[in-house]
Amino acid sequence: MTKKLNVLIVASEVFPFAKTGGLADVIGALPKELEKMGHDVRVVMPRYYSIDKDKLGLKYLDHPLGTPMGIVGEVWCGVYEGKLPNTNISIYFLEHDDYFGRAGIYNDENGSGFLDNDNRFVFLSKASLQLSKMLNFKPDVVHVNDWQTAAIPTFLNTTYRHDPMLGEAASLLTIHNMQHQGNFYPGLMDVLDIGWEHFNFLSLERDDQVNLLKGGIYHSTLINTVSEGYAKEIQTGEHGWGLEGVVRERSNDLYGIVNGIDYDEWNPETDKYLAANYSHNDLSGKAKCKQDLQEIFGLPIDPNVPVIGMVSRLAKQKGIDILAEAIYGLLDFDIQIIMLGTGEVWSHFYFGKAAHYFPRKMGCYVGYNNELAHKIEAGSDFFLMPSRFEPCGLNQIYSLRYGTLPIVRATGGLNDTIENYNEETEEGTGFKFNDMSAHALYNTVGWATYTYYNRKNTMNKLIQQAMSKRFTWEDSAKKYENLYYRSVEKRLGLDKYKQDIGVPVKQLITSV
Ligand code: ADP
Ligand code: GLC
């Protein structure tokens, strides 16, 4: 019997409570598998304005929670407890109206980051640790995600290093995105309140600013990214966003674990949002979904024209600049393009206009709509992701499951999860390109379109191959479990841990 772990997971978004991207999906799904393995997992996130306490039946914990925030003083919040859907896992929501009682999660309605994002997320980080103490929950590992919670490893190594509840806790920092680092004015050191000696080039300081992600990379016990490819890439100048040197320093402690997907949520056989369900044995339901999608977007209903779908945060990361350059060329092909997204404001107008000029060829929905995202996955023939970088990417994995062949740029997780179509052997699950250019994107969509029209049998084969792929959380959660054990070993030292679990740690650890 291996020792079961107490795991505290802290994140700024968790599906289905609040979501802007894949981080929410990951934190909504991973704990379920960890629970099945017998670990005691608790999740903490903010109670954003949009989270309806009554509808979710959240329970108010009697004590308000106090968190010392340096020169800001003691900050008090309410705590609500709920459960992750279909589990017994407690998720705690921190309620603080000034910090979290607004419509956006990170940005205002114009897409600009809130000016107090520093204090908001330092608060989330520190209050989560305070909550753990209040609950008498002694974590073996605190699992933190991206810059918003990256102050936690720093706090564990400083403020709480000798705390009886938290001093021994190991930390795992998962980097879902290296571009966003939490860069703030140096005065934030007085809010962190850990001493100015930590404002140095090894740890929290970068370019005379406080960089919370950098502090997390320096202080966390172990680090991982969400694909093996991206773990390599962030050690390079091209993808390290200036922190590649700091990451390389920790390369011995850096791992890549590809995300799984939640097949309860994303399964064409059971998906409740679809016009018809389907499986690899019988794709007739997929044809109905295509028709439904064409109807929703007011496009000609035609089963024979290839539909290329896209669901994305409209950010430069996602390659919307090369797509903008290529779009009128693409609209020359005999295809239909369907786009769902929100993000950079120029792109709303740009792609909206393209759809306006070509109403029989393109549909564009600017906004966030989960139901429509499911319908696009099911009703499209191809799914386009021309990302500049992609730490993992979930949509292409959903697409595989829905028999919608991904057209992707070969980067990060896209490169790891999609196998390029080989015309000779007919192997593959999608279409890939390397160059970050409109030209390469255009050619590859052309290649997919050609295949659709001229190689029907091959298309069917590729669809079957795609649908047979599985990226389960069960597999990925085992790897996280392994990293948790490793991090505990590293934090406490082998001997101490050996005593706790009664068997040599090495026997627990297979390669990740
Ligand atoms: P990222 O986290 O970088 O945005 P991922 O591919 O990991 O990329 O995850 C994106 C997630 O967000 C997917 O679940 C996708 O369906 C969803 N999503 C993105 N944009 C929208 C949107 N406009 N409406 C609905 N869902 C969206
Ligand atoms: C980030 C990345 C995306 C990844 C997601 C979940 O938002 O951009 O590639 O899938 O996190 O890990």
**176 pocket-lining for ligand 2 (C-beta < 6 Å):** yes
Q: Exposed, middle or buried: residue 63 (CB in 10 Å: 0-12, 13-18, 19+)?
A: exposed
- Which of 257, 258, 312 to probe ligand 1 with, by most ligand atoms within 8 A of CB? 312
d(CA 380, CA 372): 12
Residues 307 and 343 reside in one and the same domain: yes
Residues 68 and 182 reside in one and the same domain: yes
Residues 80 and 218 reside in one and the same domain: yes
Q: Which two tokens stand for residue 187?
A: 């005065």
Spacing of C-alpha 153 from chain mean position: 20
Which residue's CA is the nearest one to ligand 1's atom 4? 21
Task: Verify cis geometry, omega within 30 degrees of 0, for the bond prior to 16.
Answer: yes
CB 75 within 8 A of CB 69: yes
CB 415 within 8 A of CB 282: no
Q: How far is CA 346 from CA 113, 316, 317, 343, 510, in A?
A: 17, 11, 15, 9, 48
Q: What is the pLDDT of residue 495?
A: 56
Q: How many residues comprise the chain?
A: 512
Tell me how crowded residue 332 is: count the other CB atoms within 10 A of its CB: 11
Number of domains in the chain: 2
- Mean pLDDT value of segment 65-83: 98
**481 pocket-lining for ligand 2 (C-beta < 6 Å):** no
CB 399 within 8 A of CB 217: no
Tell me how crowded residue 150 is: count the other CB atoms within 10 A of its CB: 29
The Å distance, Cα 342 to ligand 2 centre, comes to 16
d(CA 59, CA 82): 6
Q: What is the pLDDT of residue 62?
A: 86
Q: How far is CA 183 from CA 116, 179, 189, 233, in A?
A: 12, 11, 12, 21
User: By C-alpha distance, which of 347, 374, 358, 372 is closest to 299?
Assistant: 358
- Which of 177, 399, 417 to probe ligand 2 with, by most ligand atoms within 8 A of CB? 177
User: Which residue is associated with the tokens 């948790």?
Assistant: 484
- φ/ψ of 93, rounded to 5, equals -110, 125
The Å distance, Cα 22 to ligand 1 centre, comes to 6
Structural domain contains residue 270: no
The Å distance, Cα 208 to ligand 1 centre, comes to 33
The Å distance, Cα 25 to ligand 2 centre, comes to 9
- Which of 371, 394, 408, 471 to probe ligand 1 with, by most ligand atoms within 8 A of CB? 394
pLDDT tens digits along 239-262: 999 999 999 999 999 999 999 998
Residues 368 and 487 reside in one and the same domain: no
Mean pLDDT of all residues belonging to the chain? 95
SS3 295: helix
**259 pocket-lining for ligand 2 (C-beta < 6 Å):** yes
Q: Which two tokens stand for residue 101?
A: 């009682």
Q: How far is CA 203 from CA 121, 170, 209, 492, in A?
A: 18, 18, 11, 22
Which residue's CA is the nearest one to ligand 1's atom 22? 368
The Å distance, Cα 182 to ligand 1 centre, comes to 21
Percent residues over pLDDT 90 in the chain: 93
Residues 463 and 478 reside in one and the same domain: no
Residues 228 and 80 reside in one and the same domain: yes
Q: What is the pLDDT of residue 493?
A: 80
CB under 6 Å to ligand 1: residues?
21-23, 25, 311-313, 340-342, 368-370, 373, 392-395
CB 168 within 8 A of CB 492: yes
Structural domain contains residue 272: no
The Å distance, Cα 440 to ligand 2 centre, comes to 23
d(CA 45, CA 40): 17
Q: What is the pLDDT of residue 13?
A: 98
Which residue's CA is the nearest one to ligand 2's atom 1? 176
CATH assignment of the domain containing 68: 3.40.50.2000
Residues 296 and 410 reside in one and the same domain: yes
Q: Exposed, middle or buried: residue 508 (CB in 10 Å: 0-12, 13-18, 19+)?
A: middle
Predicted confidence (pLDDT) at residue 511 exceeds the cutoff of 70: no
Structural domain contains residue 268: no
DSSP per residue, 175-212? ES-SS---EE-TTHHHHHTS-GGG-STTTTEETTEEEH
* Upper half-sphere CA count for residue 231 (Cβ side, 13 Å): 20
Residues 417 and 362 reside in one and the same domain: yes
Give the residues across from 364 on adjacent strands: 339
Banded model confidence at residue 101, pLDDT cuts 50, 70, 90:
very high
Residues 455 and 480 reside in one and the same domain: no
d(CA 26, CA 238): 25
Ligand 1 atom closest to Cα of residue 23: 2
The Å distance, Cα 379 to ligand 2 centre, comes to 23
Q: Which two tokens stand for residue 414?
A: 């896209």
pLDDT tens digits along 167-182: 999 999 999 999 999 9
Structural domain contains residue 241: yes
Predicted confidence (pLDDT) at residue 111 exceeds the cutoff of 90: no
The Å distance, Cα 51 to ligand 1 centre, comes to 19
**206 pocket-lining for ligand 2 (C-beta < 6 Å):** no
Residues 130 and 161 reside in one and the same domain: yes
User: By C-alpha distance, which of 384, 402, 380, 400 is closest to 303?
Assistant: 380
- φ/ψ of 196, rounded to 5, equals -70, -10
Q: Which two tokens stand for residue 104?
A: 């956006």
Residues 69 and 206 reside in one and the same domain: yes
Structural domain contains residue 273: no
The Å distance, Cα 370 to ligand 1 centre, comes to 9
Structural domain contains residue 197: yes
Domain that holds residue 342: 284-467
pLDDT tens digits along 281-323: 999 999 999 999 999 999 999 999 999 999 999 999 999 999 9
Q: Strands 362-366 and 254-256: what pairing?
A: unpaired
Structural domain contains residue 506: no
pLDDT tens digits along 395-409: 999 999 999 999 999
Q: What is the pLDDT of residue 110?
A: 82
Structural domain contains residue 116: yes
| ∠ CA 129-135-140, rounded to 5° | 60
Indicate which ligand has the atom closest to the C-alpha of 180: 2
d(CA 145, CA 171): 11
Helix and strand numbers (H, E) in the chain are 20, 19
Residues 378 and 457 reside in one and the same domain: yes
pLDDT tens digits along 428-482: 999 999 999 999 999 999 999 999 999 999 999 999 999 999 999 999 999 999 9
- Mean pLDDT value of segment 409-418: 98
Ligand 2 atom closest to Cα of residue 174: 12
